[in-house]
Amino acid sequence: MTVRIGVVGTGAIGREHIERVSRVISGARVSAVADIDAALAEKAAAEAGGARVADAADIAGSLIAADDVDAVLVSSWHAAHAEHVLAAIAAGKPVLCEKPLATTAEDALRVLAAEEAFGRRLVQVGFMRRYDPGYRELKRVIADGGIGRPLMMHCAHRNRSAPERYTTEMAAQDTGVHEIDAARWLLDDEIVSAQVILPRATERRFPHLRDPQFMLFETAGGVRIDLEVFVNCQYGYDIQCETVGETGLIRLPDPARAEVRAAARVGTEIDQEWGGRFAEAFDVEVQAWVDSVAAGAATGPSAWDGYAATAVAAATVEAQRTGAVVDVDLVERPAFYA
Ligand code: ISE
C-alpha cells in the first residue's frame, strides 16, 4: 500500500516534509496540497511530482476528506493546527500534526475529546526529537537506570538569530516546547510548575523580544529542569541536554562532525538551523508515521502529549508575564491515553 498524504500548509516545514516524502520516505507519496498562498501551493504541488492543489477555502472537504488522501500532514500556521486535526479526526484520517498540537489548552482538549469519541488513536504530534538518535540513547539509559533516579536536567536551546515576527511568548510556545516534551518523555513524568527568569538581554535582538530567557520547571516527581532559551546566540544552532541522576549523568551528544585541523586551529562545524541538526530525526519520525498509517495503529507522541506540552507552554507564558512560579493544571489523564 502506498499511503497518499495530503499536506495542509506549504510553508518552510511543509515543503521540507513534501521533499522528505517524495525523496526519502518509502511507502508514501503526496497526493494533494493546500495553502492560502496559491503560488506556494502550486510550487509545492510541482515539487511533489504533480500533486493536486486543493481548495484552500475548503481544506476540510477538498483535501482532508478527499478520496485521494489516506492520511493528513498538518504544517499550517500554528493557530489552525487544532482545526485541521479535528477535521482529520472527523474524516477518520490518521494525522501527523507539526508542533504545537494547539495554541491553547482548551483547543487541545477538544482534540482529545474528538479522538476519544472516535474510539482509536489517529493523532501523532511532531515532536521529532523523540526520533533523534542522541535523545533515544538518553531515553534508553535513563529508563535502564544507568544514572540512577534522575534529579536534575540542564538544557540549552540556542538559535543563531530570530526574525522580527518572533515574540517573547514563542520562546515557550514554539521553541522551549521541544524541551518541555523531551523532558516529559525522558523522565516519564509530568511538569507541574513553570518559572521564567530574565537575564541581561542581548543587544542583538529586535527590541520587542526578551532574549535570552531562563525557564525553570518542576516535575510531579520533584525533578528540577532548567532551560536556557537564547534565539539570537549568533554562533549557530546548538541544543544541549544533560540529565543528572543519583549515580551519574548523561549528556546529549553533539552531532558527529569531522574535526578540521588547519591554519593553527582545530574544530568542528556547528549546524545553523534545526532542519540540518534534526534531519535524521525528521526522516525517522515521518517514516515511522507512514509505517503506522499502513499498519493502522498510531504510534509516537499522542494528542495527550500535545495537550500537556501546550498547557506547560501556556503556564510558561504566564510566568514570563508575572515573574511568578505558575502551576500547570492538567486535567486527569484519560485511560484512552494511558
Ligand atoms: C522552530 O519552530 C522549531 O521548531 C525549532 O526546532 C526551534 O529551534 C525554533 O526556535 C522554532 O522557532
Tens digits of residue pLDDT in 250-267: 999 999 999 999 999 999
- Please check whether residue 179 is in contact with residue 312, taking contact to mean a CB–CB distance below 8 angstroms: no
Nearest Cα residue to atom 3 of ligand 1: 175
Amino acid at 273: E
Pairing of strands 150-158, 191-197: unpaired
Pocket of ligand 1 (CB under 6 A): 159, 174-175, 178, 231, 274
pLDDT digits (tens, 9 = 90+) for 82-114: 999 999 999 999 999 999 999 999 999 999 999
CA atoms within 13 A of residue 164's CA, in its CB half-sphere: 0
Instruction: Specify the pTM.
Output: 0.97
Helix (H, G, I), strand (E, B) or coil at 288: helix
Q: Which residue from 178, 213, 285 has its CB within 8 A of the most atoms of ligand 1, so it is best to mutate?
A: 178
pLDDT higher than 90, residue 280? yes
* Number of structural domains in the chain: 2
Q: Which residue from 132, 274, 278 has its CB within 8 A of the most atoms of ligand 1, so it is best to mutate?
A: 274
- Does 268 lie in the same domain as 184? yes
- Does 200 lie in the same domain as 137? yes
Atom of ligand 1 nearest to the CA of 99: 4
- Does 332 lie in the same domain as 227? yes
Give me Rg for the CA atoms of the chain.
20
pLDDT digits (tens, 9 = 90+) for 162-191: 999 999 999 999 999 999 999 999 999 999
pLDDT digits (tens, 9 = 90+) for 207-250: 999 999 999 999 999 999 999 999 999 999 999 999 999 999 99
3-state secondary structure 294-311: HHCCCCCCCHHHHHHHHH
- Does 153 lie in the same domain as 110? no
Nearest Cα residue to atom 8 of ligand 1: 175
- Does 172 lie in the same domain as 23? no
Residues above pLDDT 90, as percent of the chain? 100
User: By residue range, what is the domain housing residue 38?
Assistant: 3-127+280-301
Atom of ligand 1 nearest to the CA of 170: 12
Q: Once rounded to an integer, what is the mean pLDDT over residues 126-153?
A: 98
Q: What is the pLDDT of residue 1?
A: 85
pLDDT higher than 90, residue 298? yes
Nearest Cα residue to atom 7 of ligand 1: 175
Helix (H, G, I), strand (E, B) or coil at 108: helix
- Does 137 lie in the same domain as 226? yes
Q: Once rounded to an integer, what is the mean pLDDT over residues 138-156?
A: 98
CATH of the domain at 82: 3.40.50.720
Helix (H) or strand (E) holding 8: strand 3-8
d(CA 20, CA 14): 10
- How does residue 305 score in pLDDT terms, banded at 50, 70 and 90? very high
CATH of the domain at 258: 3.30.360.10
- Does 71 lie in the same domain as 39? yes
- Does 333 lie in the same domain as 210? yes
